[in-house]
Chain A
Amino acid sequence: MSPILAIVRRDLLMVMRRKSEVLTALFFFVIVTSLFPLGIGPEPTLLRKIAPGVLWVAALLATMLGLQRMFAADHADGTLEQMAISPTPLVMLVVGKIGAHWLVSGLPLVLVAPVLGIQFDLDASALGVLVVALLLGTPLLSLIGSIGAALTLGVRGGGVLLSLLVLPLFIPALIFGAGAVEAHISGLGAGGHLSLLAAMLALAVFFAPWATTAALRIALE
């Protein structure tokens, strides 16, 4: 466990020294969600209806912003190679990096989402479901995204390519994440959606770090 925590602490420390990167993604999330009412109109019933989808799509895009940087700096200065040849299994270090990415770019979104939800006239219980759904969904995005980030490491046009690779894979998370809030609002209960989201998270926790590690080893060859 300690190597994972060590990587998380190191990555968080590096982020704290360059705060602008975290804040950029967070403000991107805030601004994008605020654009929708301006574009569509301030009608509360309409806003309530689109709120889950808009918040989730914005969260997907905000996660994408940070993904490219997940391994890029370590790859550029050779740290990644040192990690690969260190006695600790690379997959543990990858788990640490994914965890750090979630703490930096996923958790702030979860925390700020209720405030944005109020802008869309969601009531308190719907906000609660939104937070739970994002809490389950954003780690899933970091996990799936890490595969794409590792694959596009040092590749021409990496950023655009990353979105092409990763966004289709985000679709199930989007469907059940936004669906949970919608189901709750329409009185169906969010339990089913949240369970599926949790199931996908469990699956991704198990498989994604391995795929990412394999992709990193290919990039380091």
Chain B
Amino acid sequence: MSNRLINWFRFASPHNFYPLAGKMIPVFWALAALFGIAGLWMGFFVAPTDAQQGEGYRIIFVHVPASWLSMFIYMVMATWSAIGLSLNARLSSMMAQALAPTGALMAFLSLWTGAFWGKPMWGTWWVWDARLTSELILFFLYLGFMALQASIDDPRRADKAGAIVALVGAVNVPIIYFSVKWWNTLHQGSSVNLAKSSMAVTMLWGMLLMALCMWMYSVAIALTRVRTIILEREAHTEWVLQLDEVKA
């Protein structure tokens, strides 16, 4: 048991994780490309044209995965932050920091493609619907996290302060979601009915494949970013100076 524990924590050290991440990145890129090609092919050529929404609905193959990932990445980020804060593990905090820009990108993509979808379908770029509003607030939370980390010079202090923001945000996201939802229903009754009208199986598959593609992309890009962060923060150590890419 103790042996396995030691192996498990082996990669908690940036020194050991750096080469491992380097090996994992191409795998995740390959998976992202594979799922992406399959998903796009399903989305554009296999999935039938929607009876009510025409061809425009195909934007959901980007929109829905981006929304899922924006929320999922926030959860992962908060989890890494909690681990970083409670175990005082440097690498966990670096992971949280590396995930934030990707999460913000996904939230932005979700809002952006949502607007493109809303214009032809609902006739408006934006409605104060519960989902849209809470996605926007999620985007603000990502920005707050990144802004706070960027403005603190000491990286360890930035990690911990960011972790508290991420955790407070994680507690607040459900509260914000429900408050916006109730506010919306009290105001105007739901003007937007998102209830899916029995989605075709191929559409669902296309969406799932695209979600996998974007998930793998997020992992690959976060690992790339965490490698950069490791190099930046560990620049003074001997093992970084011995790396081939640093020597060159």
Flag whether B5 is at the interface (Cβ < 8 A): no
Among residues of A, the one whose C-beta sits closest to the C-beta of B180 is A175
- Fill in one digit per residue for A167-198: 1 if any B CB lies within 8 Å of its CB, else 0: 11101100110010001000010000000100
A175 and B177 alpha carbons, distance in the complex (Å): 11
- Fill in one digit per residue for B178-216: 1 if any A CB lies within 8 Å of its CB, else 0: 011011001000000000000000000000000000000
Residues of A within 8 A of B172 (CB): 168-169, 172
A171 and B140 alpha carbons, distance in the complex (Å): 12
Known contacts A147-B164, A147-B168, A169-B168; is-contact A161 B175 (Cβ 8 Å): no
Known contacts A151-B161, A215-B164; is-contact A172 B179 (Cβ 8 Å): yes
Verify A171–B180 contact, CB threshold 8 A: yes
Flag whether A219 is at the interface (Cβ < 8 A): yes
Verify B151–A165 contact, CB threshold 8 A: no
Verify A176–B164 contact, CB threshold 8 A: no
Known contacts A155-B151, A207-B171; is-contact A214 B164 (Cβ 8 Å): yes
Residues of A within 8 A of B186 (CB): 179, 183, 188
Among residues of B, the one whose C-beta sits closest to the C-beta of A208 is B168
Residues of A within 8 A of B160 (CB): 218
Known contacts A168-B140, A175-B183; is-contact A211 B168 (Cβ 8 Å): yes
B166, chain A: closest CB distance, angstroms: 11
A211 and B169 alpha carbons, distance in the complex (Å): 12
Residues of A within 8 A of B151 (CB): 155-158, 161
Flag whether B59 is at the interface (Cβ < 8 A): no
Flag whether B141 is at the interface (Cβ < 8 A): yes
Flag whether B165 is at the interface (Cβ < 8 A): yes
Interface size class of B (residues with CB under 8 A): 20 to 34
Verify B157–A164 contact, CB threshold 8 A: no
Flag whether B147 is at the interface (Cβ < 8 A): yes
Query: Is chain A's binding surface mostly helix, strand, loop or mixed?
Result: helix
Residues of B within 8 A of A167 (CB): 140
Verify B179–A215 contact, CB threshold 8 A: no
- Fill in one digit per residue for A13-51: 1 if any B CB lies within 8 Å of its CB, else 0: 000000000000000000000000000000000000000
A200 and B182 alpha carbons, distance in the complex (Å): 15
Known contacts A171-B137, A183-B186; is-contact A164 B144 (Cβ 8 Å): yes
A212 and B215 alpha carbons, distance in the complex (Å): 34
Residues of A within 8 A of B156 (CB): 221
Flag whether B148 is at the interface (Cβ < 8 A): yes
B186, chain A: closest CB distance, angstroms: 7
Given contacts A155-B151, A171-B180, A196-B179, 10 further A-B contacts (CB under 8 A): A151-B161, A151-B164, A155-B152, A164-B144, A165-B147, A168-B176, A175-B179, A175-B182, A215-B164, A221-B157
Question: Which positions in B face A, CB cutoff 8 Å?
Answer: 137, 140-141, 143-144, 147-148, 151-153, 156-157, 160-161, 164-165, 167-169, 171-172, 175-176, 179-180, 182-183, 186
